[in-house]
Amino acid sequence: MSIKVLGISTSPRIKGNSDLLLRRALAGAESAGAGTEYIRLPDYQVGPCIECNACYATGLCKVQDDYQHLLKKILDADRIIFATPIFFMTVCAQAKMLIDRCQSLWAHKYVLKKELITPGHDRRAMVIAVGGSRSKKQFDCIRLTMKSCFDSLQVYYAANLFVNKIDSLGEIEKHPSALKEAYRLGSLLAATNSPPPQKSIDIELT
Ligand SMILES: Cc1cc2nc3c(=O)[nH]c(=O)nc-3n(C[C@H](O)[C@H](O)[C@H](O)COP(=O)(O)O)c2cc1C
């Protein structure tokens, strides 16, 4: 059976730059034989964590919205590709709401000390992020936030593809290498015949 790759596009812009990169990465994953699913997060109703801490007792989030539906897909996936624009040096609000709702998984793992997924399930993730400017620290927050989120999701953080200085809608299509790189990394992420790399891939393009 082919592996399942879930692509989560969080930009509020339809066909935004991070979204176009994600679509190329999914095409790359398909070229490696994976089955892919694409989700546009702004099409779903996912509210913020309300910090009720009910999940500390149950491991479950009690807020009933589309998070419950998305969580099943997230836990079922062998690979996750998470795409976000840079908003004020970090992920966009839509992405952050989904990430914060993963507190229930954090509670599941660290408070209740329970297994979330089948032991040995090889789960890996990649992050795609695009920023309009160029700053040395542009992607620092994303690295930390996504590491913490993937720890709770019990997914190995395998790769980053970060692109600077891409601002207007669709501008990524003029970048000399970003789309090709997304395709290549998508296909690499989906390859099942290699063990997860010891060191994560971290690519930052200008
Ligand atoms: C609310 C907001 C905040 C932004 N903050 C930053 C920022 O901190 N750094 C940056 O480089 N670009 C910033 N940008 C620009 C976007 O990252 C840029 O336009 C990017 O290409 C958007 O990606 P998308 O098309 O996938 O949504 C911001 C844009 C918006 C709308």
- Those residues with Cβ within 8 angstroms of residue 120's Cβ, 6 or more apart along the chain or in another chain: none
Distance (Å) from CA 162 to ligand 1 centroid: 13
Q: Are 153 and 108 in contact (CB under 8 A)?
A: no
Which of 18, 81, 88, 90 should be mutated for ligand 1, with most atoms under 8 A from CB?
88
Task: Find tokens 């997914």 and name the residue.
Answer: 155
* Average pLDDT along the chain, 206 residues, taken 10 residues at a time: 94 97 98 97 98 95 96 96 98 98 94 86 95 92 97 95 97 97 96 79 95
In terms of pTM, does the model score above 0.95? yes
- Give the total number of structural domains in the chain: 1
| Residues with C-beta less than 6 Å from any ligand 1 atom | 11, 13, 16-19, 85-89, 130-133, 138, 166-167
Q: Which domain holds residue 105?
A: 4-205
- Those residues with Cβ within 8 angstroms of residue 17's Cβ, 6 or more apart along the chain or in another chain: 11, 85, 130, 163, 166, 169, 170, 171, 172
Distance (Å) from CA 59 to ligand 1 centroid: 34
Hey, what are 72's tokens? 């099943």
List the CATH number of the domain containing 157. Answer: 3.40.50.360
